[in-house]
Amino acid sequence: MCKRSSALFFAVMLAVLALGGSQLLASPVLIKLHLKDLSDYQKAKALNVLAYHRFDNLFIAEFEKSELLALDDASLTYQIIDEKPWIESYYVVSESKRCEGVDLSRYGEILVQEGNFYFLKISDQGARGLAEKGYHIAKVFRHAIPLKYKKVTEALPKALLYDPSIDSLLSLISEDSLYVWDLRLQNFQTRYSYSDSIHSARQWLFGKLVDFGIDSVWFHHYYYDSDQYNVVASVVGTAQPDKVIVVGGHYDSVVYGGGTNPYVWAPGADDNGSGTVATLEIARIIAQNPLPVTVIFVPFAQEEQGLIGSYYFAEYLYNQGTDLHLMLNADMIGHSVDADTDVVIYAAASAMEFVNIMMDMANSYTYLSPYYGGQSGGSDHYSFYQWGYDALFASEGDFFYNGWHKNYDIVDSLDFDYMKEVVKMELATLITVARSLVPQYVCGDVNGDEIIDLADVVYLANYLLKSGDAPPDPICRANANGDALINLGDVIYLANYKLKGGPPPHDCGNHQP
């Protein structure tokens, strides 16, 4: 019996090996991989390098140890940083404006230091201990991110001109709404990710988004260490609905320090009730004034545990093949203590084009003094950057040192007039970027020759009466009188304009559909 069992065992092993069982002998290692240019990216993709985190063009990646020679043959620069990967968690840790200087090696093993960022092999408990000391933490998952080449070029400010159509939408922002909604979030007493109150808070957020008249509102569920939910609402674009911009800010809160209990009281009015209500207010306005592209509004879960909710949602969008052009993140935008009224814009160097747009918006429509703060790993925009998307993070210039992650992060400590200005900056950026993603046109230029003349009158009349011409492309360019209908009223309006000196065609809104 024993001999038969042994023979059977060896037969099974031979079959496994024949079917590819050599994978049982795989021995991957974690490497630090520097990709200098597009050619390096293409080589790494061809070799099926699995990347899990990026610092600009430096990646934390996994590769089979026995095949490292292939990286050498491809002239790729790498260094082994962990020969026994994934036996413990990994986090990216970075300093905040208020962190206690501690020896990070006492909490975990420092595998890579890249500027202000540290890639640590560390337990979840150790990472949260560093968060308690004031460090930003970002969980690194064993989910392969795209090796997407992002060329860094000098992006000069566009000096965008003032646009009254944008200003009219900014005038709809309500400081009272920002205050009332932030107070409501505070009055849940805590929005700690593992508390009962977080369920009530997300249901309230869901209800508000539905109240705005948004048809598509849903919970994005994921499981990390518990069942968690991002709240998602989509306003479909009027011209290019497949193009997407995400607007968000996390809705969870936490407190640290002696005598605190996040299960009982973690008001989080600034961190991040302020960013959450900014997301709500912009959603309210866009719900009634849709943009040319689709806007997805997302209050994120579990930011305080390492950007967990935003990571899962960015991964979801990537796997869906979403044509995402920009993510706008607001986190701690309600505290100002002096006359400088500065605001910080964080982003990767590859997103400077969008940074400059946001700075132009601040200078054109607000009293804020914007400045670029470099890249930050301290909020949810960073998750989208990991998945290859451009992302901006707006935050207060006068950081709430005393109240951050404390019991007294309450609405009474905030400046809601300042918060309103930051929301104006974010909304103006959203509108400007959305309009830039669709083909330009001029209302009244029906035939698309960039001249408004009698030929446009004839073209539109033929289209409406004789079907003699193809429809205007896009059809909105024929809406000369601005009533959102394409009919003979537009023919008469254009004829009056060209023949009798009547009013000019309707302003299409910065020449965008």
Beta bridge partners of 371: 344
Which CATH number covers residue 258? 3.40.630.10
Which CATH number covers residue 513? 1.10.1330.10
pTM as predicted: 0.85
Of 407, 436, 465, which marks where a domain is finished?
A: 436
pLDDT reading at 3 higher than 60: no
| Residue range(s) defining the domain that contains residue 352 | 164-436
**Over residues 339-352, mean pLDDT:** 94
106 with 173, same domain? no
Spatial separation of the C-alpha atoms in residues 233 and 403, rounded to whole Å:
30
358 or 471, which is more confident: 358
Residue 156 lies in a domain: no
Residue 461 has a pLDDT of 85
465 with 388, same domain? no
Among 250, 256, 253, 276, CA closest to 382: 250
**Over residues 229-234, mean pLDDT:** 98
Residue 511 has a pLDDT of 42
Among 413, 494, 426, 425, CA closest to 459: 494
pLDDT digits (tens, 9 = 90+) for 298-309: 999 999 999 999
429 with 505, same domain? no
117 with 131, same domain? yes
pLDDT reading at 117 higher than 60: yes
Spatial contact of 298 and 380, defined as CB atoms under 8 Å apart: no
pLDDT reading at 265 higher than 50: yes
173 or 19, which is more confident: 173
Q: What is the mean pLDDT of the chain?
A: 91
Residue 15 lies in a domain: no
Strand order through the sheet with 136-140: 109-114, 117-121, 90-94, 136-140
Polymer length in residues for the chain: 513
pLDDT reading at 6 higher than 60: no
Residue 21 has a pLDDT of 45
Split at pLDDT 50, 70, 90, the class of 22 is very low
Structure token pair of residue 43: 């080589």
Split at pLDDT 50, 70, 90, the class of 491 is confident
Residue 62 has a pLDDT of 98
Residue 482 has a pLDDT of 80
334 or 150, which is more confident: 334
Residue 178 lies in a domain: yes
Residue 510 has a pLDDT of 41
503 with 432, same domain? no
pLDDT digits (tens, 9 = 90+) for 150-200: 887 777 766 777 899 999 999 999 999 999 999 999 999 999 999 999 999
pLDDT reading at 23 higher than 70: no
Residue 461 lies in a domain: yes
Residue 460 has a pLDDT of 84
305 with 428, same domain? yes
421 with 461, same domain? no
Spatial separation of the C-alpha atoms in residues 34 and 36, rounded to whole Å:
6
The CA R_g of the chain, rounded to the nearest whole Å, is 27
Among 471, 467, 392, CA closest to 427: 392
293 with 360, same domain? yes
Among 249, 253, 293, CA closest to 426: 249
What is the count of structural domains for the chain?
Answer: 3
**Over residues 231-238, mean pLDDT:** 97
148-162, 227-241, 295-309, 449-463: segment of lowest average pLDDT: 148-162
Spatial contact of 71 and 63, defined as CB atoms under 8 Å apart: yes
pLDDT reading at 19 higher than 90: no
**Over residues 339-356, mean pLDDT:** 94
**Over residues 72-81, mean pLDDT:** 98
Residue 200 has a pLDDT of 98
Residue 14 lies in a domain: no
Spatial separation of the C-alpha atoms in residues 238 and 293, rounded to whole Å:
6
Residue 444 has a pLDDT of 83
289 or 155, which is more confident: 289
Of 371, 402, 436, which marks where a domain is finished?
A: 436
Residue 16 lies in a domain: no
Residue 154 lies in a domain: no
Residue 20 has a pLDDT of 47
513 with 388, same domain? no
pLDDT reading at 4 higher than 80: no
Secondary structure element (H or E) that encloses residue 402, with its range: none
pLDDT digits (tens, 9 = 90+) for 383-411: 999 999 999 999 999 999 889 999 999 99
Residue 451 has a pLDDT of 85
Split at pLDDT 50, 70, 90, the class of 513 is very low
134 with 180, same domain? no
Of 383, 418, 436, which marks where a domain is finished?
A: 436
355 with 267, same domain? yes
70 with 193, same domain? no
Residue 82 lies in a domain: yes
Q: Dihedral, CA atoms, 376, 379, 384, 389, nearest 10 degrees?
A: -40
Residue 401 is classified by DSSP as T
Structure token pair of residue 39: 């050619």
